[in-house]
Amino acid sequence: MAYIQQHATETPVPVRLGLIGSGWMGAFHGESITRRVPGAVLAAVADPNLDSAVSVAAKLGAAKVTADAADILADPEIDAVIIASPARFHASLITQAAEAGKHVFCEKPGAQSLEELDAALRTVDAAGVHFQIGFNRRYAADFQAAKKDLAQGIVGEPQLLRSLTRDPGTGSIGHAARIPAWTIFLETLIHDFDTLNWFNEGAEPVEVYAAADALVEPGLRDQGFLDTAVVTIRYSNGALAVAEANFSALYGYDVRGEVFGSKGMVQAGRATETAAVRYSAEGLSADTPRLNVELFRGAYTDELVDFAAAVRARRDGTQLPSGAYTLTPGAADARRALAMALACIESVKRGGPVPVAEKAGV
Ligand SMILES: NC(=O)c1ccc[n+]([C@@H]2O[C@H](COP(=O)([O-])OP(=O)(O)OC[C@H]3O[C@@H](n4cnc5c(N)ncnc54)[C@H](O)[C@@H]3O)[C@@H](O)[C@H]2O)c1
């Protein structure tokens, strides 16, 4: 018996990724790379908390472990890095990675000030490396379906936009005292700002007016802690948007987006885990996602699939097919959303609207 078919097969060289920061998000990204991103390997893990790095590397089979990200950056076998350290280290890690010639995926925010971000992005530019920021919401199937409608003009000219994030919680935030100031804008609503910018592509955010308070943890109000916020945004094409966030939704993780335009409306996001609805004597009910990694499991995977494909194309000199709409969030997107978050901080301090172009600093 002979084979009826025989192809010459070439095993593609996998994209070798180094993880910098192996906490909550980094460990999940590591798991996605190992289990769900074809053609990518988690080659090394760095975390100053060596126990964390060792345990994540052991669980995921990463061969190299270090407490110092510099080891990963100096490693010629690593193509690219995933930065998932706390936000205050992002700008300097982006800079160091680009200087070492590594392609960069960085969790949001890219930096905590525009000065820092601009300096880091100049290094990225000079090194000619690929840069992607972790605005994972773009990769959720329903947000992409909405984007496709917008790109095809089905919704018409955007007039009103809405984006909301309600983090899952228990009604109190045990670790609130350890949450850095202004996190609600710099690390939470920054996702909503990117969603709105992406949905309203081609327009620039002109002005924001933010109101925020500690309603979940009122005892921490005097220390400047904020867990609830609403932002109105005026765009250059005249569209008006609202973004809102709260850190403690008892019913689970709730992320939604909406665009109302001259021809109709499109909505994305749902608060239920699946489309299944339970009918019983008590009425209707449904399960809800309790964690970001449940609601956005696919989106967190696909943003890394996109990143690995871009790194592979750069490394191997191949061309990526162009899509029907813009997808990959890059340097300009990181900057635009950060400028909005910083303007929101200034708006809360002043109690009035703030032009986004003012480039407020924290
Ligand atoms: N995209 C999303 O939906 C999403 C969700 C959660 C967190 N995040 C982002 O991911 C980043 C990390 O958040 P987290 O919740 O995983 O925090 P975390 O505290 O759980 O993990 C951070 C890890 O970084 C390590 N670290 C500290 N300094 C470092 C350095 N200089 N170099 C390398 N590692 C360092 C810490 O030891 C820790 O293990 C933040 O920027 C956060 O905003 C994004």
Q: What percent of the chain has pLDDT over 70?
A: 99
Nearest Cα residue to atom 43 of ligand 1: 187
Whether 303 shows a pLDDT value over 80: the answer reads yes
Among the atoms of ligand 1, which is closest to the Cα of residue 49? Answer: 37
Q: What percent of the chain has pLDDT over 90?
A: 91
Global pTM? 0.96
What is the reported pLDDT for 196?
Answer: 98
Each residue's pLDDT tens digit, 96-137: 999 999 999 999 999 999 999 999 999 999 999 999 999 999
Where does the pLDDT of residue 11 fall: very low under 50, low under 70, confident under 90, or very high at 90 and above?
A: confident
Give the Å distance between the CA of 56 and the centre of ligand 1: 14
Mutating to test ligand 1, I would choose from 72, 85, 338 the residue with most ligand atoms within 8 A of its C-beta, which is 85
Question: 3-7, 313-317, 348-352: which range is least confident on average?
Answer: 3-7
Q: Where are the domains of the chain?
A: 15-129, 137-292+331-358
Whether 360 shows a pLDDT value over 50: the answer reads no
Whether 361 shows a pLDDT value over 60: the answer reads no
Superfamily the domain 15-129 falls into: NAD(P)-binding Rossmann-like Domain (3.40.50.720)
Give the Å distance between the CA of 86 and the centre of ligand 1: 4
Where does the pLDDT of residue 275 fall: very low under 50, low under 70, confident under 90, or very high at 90 and above?
A: confident
Nearest Cα residue to atom 5 of ligand 1: 25
Task: Report the pLDDT averaged over residues 324-350.
Answer: 97
SS3 string, 32-59, reads HHHHHCCCEEEEEEECCCHHHHHHHHHH
Q: In what order do the strands lie in the sheet with 40-46?
A: 64-66, 40-46, 15-20, 80-83, 103-106, 131-133
Task: Report the pLDDT averaged over residues 56-68.
Answer: 98
Superfamily the domain 137-292+331-358 falls into: Dihydrodipicolinate Reductase; domain 2 (3.30.360.10)
Nearest Cα residue to atom 7 of ligand 1: 25
Question: 121-130, 158-167, 225-234, 350-359: which range is least confident on average?
Answer: 350-359
Q: Tell me which residues have their CB closer than 6 angstroms to ligand 1.
A: 20-26, 46-49, 52, 69, 84-87, 89, 107-108, 134, 136, 187, 292
Task: Report the pLDDT averaged over residues 265-285.
Answer: 93
What is the reported pLDDT for 359?
Answer: 58
Give the Å distance between the CA of 107 and the centre of ligand 1: 8
Among the atoms of ligand 1, which is closest to the Cα of residue 300? Answer: 1
Give the Å distance between the CA of 235 and the centre of ligand 1: 31
Where does the pLDDT of residue 358 fall: very low under 50, low under 70, confident under 90, or very high at 90 and above?
A: confident
Q: In what order do the strands lie in the sheet with 265-268?
A: 265-268, 254-261, 158-168, 240-249, 228-235, 205-213, 354-355
Give the Å distance between the CA of 218 and the centre of ligand 1: 26
